[in-house]
Amino acid sequence: MDFSLSDEEKAVRDTARTFIHKEVEPLEQEVLRREREHRTGLDRSELRELQLKAKQFGFWGLSTPQEHGGMDLPAVLQSLVWTEVGRSFVPFRFGGEADNILYFANDEQRREYLVPTIEGERISCFAITEPGAGSDAANIRFTARRDGDDWVLNGEKTFITNGNDADFTIVIAVTDRDKDVRKGGATAFLVDRAMGWRSGFIQTMGEGGPASLVFDDVRVPGRNVLGEIGQGFDLAMRWIGKGRYIIPSHALGIAERALRMAIEHANTRHTFGRPIGQNQAIQWMIADSEVELEAARWLVLRAAWTVDQGIDPRHTSSMAKLYGANMVNNVVDRVMQIHGGMGYTRELPIERWYRSVRLLRIFEGTDEMQRMIIARDLLRGYTQIGGHLA
Ligand SMILES: Cc1cc2nc3c(=O)[nH]c(=O)nc-3n(C[C@H](O)[C@H](O)[C@H](O)COP(=O)(O)OP(=O)(O)OC[C@H]3O[C@@H](n4cnc5c(N)ncnc54)[C@H](O)[C@@H]3O)c2cc1C
């Protein structure tokens, strides 16, 4: 069994690492300073500038097909790169990306929505969650009613990432009340803000914030159906599925960086005449963090590898998302403890991570939903214990 990375994987990872180290990490103190003043850490034009700089390094559209100018990286490589991004808390991501389900767009929609999103000229958001339907996504009530060649959309979506900045949304609506939402009752629509939906900022414990989207008789032309009528739930699950290995990949980078800070602090902070790292209580926190981090790494890489093998990745991705999200919460909590009072201040990024990583256990499928999927797969015999090595 070979656990090593290929030369190509190492080269891409190291280039990403160099970029993050040289171009992104130097912005960290300014980001913290701005956020302490309740300003956004990195504005849209600064993010764009960084993304264009990254493009010169060759990083543009990690998952974007080459015909659209992207890198079209295998999932394992995307995972490795996202881990590098996670090493800095600057809210940076590589440019040239679009929601995976925008590739279900027809030619006209590709020109109007997909290409400008890849180019960074338009911002999208994806909306399925409603005040009455989150984990139970099949319970959505947001409706789209046919009216001639148009559809008329009504309802509210909530907790939508980028909802305040987006120029358009990919919104999932009930189009046939007689059908189960999971079996043809829902459809995805591409809806410009200019068509009439409104957004409202939702304050959260994290930096930035999602939005609620309100649709009040918003008229959408029939040509704005994404994919097929009735395909909405399937597209939504595809959108969510992607994040299930990317989120824990990012978490690995956060945990690595935080743990490194804790080790340095444990070696340099003295109490009772010796470094705190000489106490077993501190050593155990470091050891447990390293073990969990390493376990998460292999779950994440296996999930990504499963995607690359063309094997149904749902089971492995759920395990990676569940374990990775919990791992980073545990590690950041211990890292704060090791830093004592300083860990609790806004001078260091630890309290920022502490707030931000909590979200990872909630969005794109809560811990409980991941457990439900994992248990269901085993109870119904969809997968066997031990996966491909069983
Ligand atoms: C910052 C942020 C960004 C987000 N971005 C987006 C986005 O871009 N687009 C989008 O559509 N949504 C987005 N979401 C929504 C997110 O996906 C949901 O919040 C999440 O799926 C949970 O749904 P809920 O909040 O309605 O909780 P609920 O579904 O009401 O669940 C409440 C609690 O009950 C548990 N629970 C529910 N059912 C069961 C069960 N059967 N068994 C055991 N436990 C159960 C849950 O795990 C949870 O702990 C975002 C949320 C946040 C906070």
Q: Which atom belonging to ligand 1 lies closest to the Cα atom of 367?
A: 47
Amino acid at 312: D
Q: Check if 204 has its Cβ closer than 6 Å to any atom of ligand 1.
A: yes
Distance CA 97, CA 122 (A): 11
Reported as half-sphere exposure (CB side, CA atoms, 13 A), residue 182 has a value of 5
Q: Which atom belonging to ligand 1 lies closest to the Cα atom of 172?
A: 11
Distance CA 26, CA 92 (A): 12
Distance CA 359, CA 367 (A): 11
Q: What is the pLDDT of residues 349-360, one digit of tens each?
A: 999 999 999 999
Distance CA 53, CA 51 (A): 5
- The closest residue, in CA terms, to atom 48 on ligand 1 is 366
Q: Check if 123 has its Cβ closer than 6 Å to any atom of ligand 1.
A: no
Burial, 389: exposed, middle or buried (Cβ in 10 Å; 0-12, 13-18, 19+)?
A: exposed
Q: Check if 126 has its Cβ closer than 6 Å to any atom of ligand 1.
A: yes
3-state class (DSSP) for residue 214: strand
Mutate to test the pocket of ligand 1, among 130, 318, 366 (most ligand atoms within 8 A of CB): 366
> b/e map of 268-282 (b: 16 or more CB within 10 Å)?
eeeeeeeebbeeeeb
Within 8 A by CB and 6+ apart from 232, the residues are 172, 173, 175, 181, 186, 187, 188
Q: Would you state the structure tokens that stand for residue 237, as one six-digit string?
A: 């699950």
Mutate to test the pocket of ligand 1, among 141, 363, 364 (most ligand atoms within 8 A of CB): 363
Q: Check if 135 has its Cβ closer than 6 Å to any atom of ligand 1.
A: yes
Q: Would you state the structure tokens that stand for residue 274, as one six-digit string?
A: 């010796």
Q: What is the pLDDT of residues 265-285, one digit of tens each?
A: 999 999 999 999 999 999 999
Distance CA 156, CA 92 (A): 29
- The closest residue, in CA terms, to atom 12 on ligand 1 is 129
3-state class (DSSP) for residue 282: helix
Residue 364 a catalytic site member: yes
Catalytic residue among 97, 119, 364, 368: 364
Q: Check if 161 has its Cβ closer than 6 Å to any atom of ligand 1.
A: yes
Using the structure block, give the residue that is written with the tokens 């000489």: 278
Q: Would you state the structure tokens that stand for residue 286, as one six-digit string?
A: 């470091």
Residue 168 Cα to ligand 1 midpoint, Å, equals: 22
**CB distance 227 to 299 below 8 Å:** no
- Residue 4: DSSP 8-state: P
Residue 366 Cα to ligand 1 midpoint, Å, equals: 6
- Residue 60: DSSP 8-state: S
- C-alpha gyration radius of the chain: 22
Distances (CA, A) of 292 to 88, 103, 234, 238, 242: 20, 36, 33, 28, 23
**CB distance 79 to 242 below 8 Å:** no
Q: Does the predicted model carry a pTM greater than 0.85?
A: yes
Residue 241 Cα to ligand 1 midpoint, Å, equals: 15
Q: Check if 127 has its Cβ closer than 6 Å to any atom of ligand 1.
A: yes
Q: Which atom belonging to ligand 1 lies closest to the Cα atom of 366?
A: 47
Distance CA 5, CA 207 (A): 34
Q: What is the pLDDT along the chain (390 residues), one digit of tens a residue?
A: 899 999 999 999 999 999 999 999 999 999 999 999 999 999 999 999 999 999 998 999 999 999 999 999 999 999 999 999 999 999 999 999 999 999 999 999 999 999 999 999 999 999 999 999 999 999 999 999 999 999 999 999 999 999 999 999 999 999 999 999 999 999 999 999 999 999 999 999 998 889 999 999 999 999 999 999 999 999 999 999 877 899 999 999 999 999 999 999 999 999 999 999 999 999 999 999 999 999 999 999 999 999 999 999 999 999 999 999 999 999 999 999 999 999 999 999 999 999 999 999 999 999 999 999 999 999 999 999 988 888
Residue 86 Cα to ligand 1 midpoint, Å, equals: 23
- The closest residue, in CA terms, to atom 45 on ligand 1 is 368
DSSP H or E stretch at residue 213: strand 211-221
Smallest Cα–Cα separation from 192: which of 138, 121, 112, 97? 112
Residue 130 Cα to ligand 1 midpoint, Å, equals: 9
Q: Check if 368 has its Cβ closer than 6 Å to any atom of ligand 1.
A: yes
Mutate to test the pocket of ligand 1, among 99, 123, 124, 129 (most ligand atoms within 8 A of CB): 129
Q: Check if 94 has its Cβ closer than 6 Å to any atom of ligand 1.
A: no
Residue 192 Cα to ligand 1 midpoint, Å, equals: 25
Phi, psi of 198 (to 5 degrees): -115, 150
Q: Check if 152 has its Cβ closer than 6 Å to any atom of ligand 1.
A: no
Q: Which atom belonging to ligand 1 lies closest to the Cα atom of 131?
A: 26
